[in-house]
Amino acid sequence: MALAILCSGQGGQHAGMFDLTGNAPQVAALFAHAATLLGEDPRILVKRAERDVLHANRTAQLLCTLQALSAIAVLNDVFPRPRCVAGYSVGEVAAWGVAGLIGTTETLDLVAARAGVMDAASHGDEGMLFIRGLGEAGIEQLCVGREAAIAICNPADAWVLGGRRTALEAMAEEARRLGAARVVSIPVNVPSHTYLLADASVAFSHILAGIHLQPSPTTGTRLFSGIDGDSVLDAKNDVNKLALQISQPIQWARCLDGCVEAGAVAFLELGPGRALADMAAGAYPHIPTRSVDDFRSVQGIVDWLSRVT
């Protein structure tokens, strides 16, 4: 009987994302370190910054990772064990921190480096696109002959594609003609998890080779790898998957399946947003699912956990 902890990717940043955890004493050093990376206190940044600033690649990755790390710092003692941890896109790096494999400030440094190599490998004319309601064969056909590829495989024929903006625009129009239920541009400016970022994977693998790792996740914690949904059993052997996922598709449906197979009785997304909670609820409607963003107090989360785990 486990709690499945989901670490969000970028896209859901908002002004109130740190209201619940940002002033807790146990996160003071973490926010101070984040401020050195962002150039100002992130709790102030999210409240005053324009949307374009919040969704800039480096800033977005750091903010979303900080959200996960601050949430686990505040809630770790009340989260039950055993627990499963899975992260979506940059959330997978955060998940390694949440699972105790990488120190919290080191996780933020790693994310800053990750964003740097991704930006360096991008050309400024790329983005990402969400399509729901077409099968895998149809999605693959959309990509043929275009500088684009499947980036994330979500449950229920929900796909994220990455590529050149001109290619994505043409694919969006074609997807609508083919009867896709939903087609939405994602506020991300890099072609994450596609072959277009192969150089970034290589660069990040060199960075990962120099980090300090714990040999295995914290006792009672099962961590899932995004590119295959497998459990991370040996950190030293599996850490390069964090580099590979920059240029290979994320198998998010498999990660959710892995959590359920491991005995998950509830899903809790650390946020920001509730995109992962919505996907988990859609795939497994019988399993209680919430996001930290749903609650007004830490006690509210504690009370919910006591009812569902």
**Beta-strand pair 264-269/2-7:** parallel
Q: One fold for both 2-122+195-308 and 126-186?
A: no
Question: In the chain, what are the domain boundaries?
Answer: 2-122+195-308, 126-186
Strands 264-269 and 289-291: parallel
As a whole number of angstroms, the distance between CA 256 and CA 18 comes to: 26
Contact at 8 Å (CB) between 245 and 227? yes
- Does residue 70 contact residue 207 with C-beta atoms inside 8 Å? no
In CATH, what number does 2-122+195-308 get? 3.40.366.10
Task: Tell whether pTM > 0.75.
Answer: yes
Q: Which pLDDT value is given to residue 158?
A: 97
For domain 126-186, the CATH class is alpha beta
Can you list the alpha helix ranges (DSSP code H) found in 126-245? 136-143, 165-177, 198-208, 235-238, 241-244
Closest CA to 305 of 20, 27, 75, 8: 75
What residue ranges in 112-256 does DSSP mark as E strands?
126-132, 148-154, 158-164, 182-186, 221-223
Per-residue pLDDT of the chain (309 residues; tens, 9 = 90+): 799 999 999 999 999 999 999 999 999 999 999 999 999 999 999 999 999 999 999 999 999 999 999 999 999 999 999 999 999 999 999 999 999 999 999 999 999 999 999 999 999 899 999 999 999 999 999 999 999 999 999 999 999 999 999 999 999 999 999 999 999 999 899 999 999 999 999 999 999 999 999 998 999 999 999 999 999 999 999 999 999 999 999 999 999 999 999 999 999 999 999 999 999 999 999 999 999 999 999 999 999 999 999
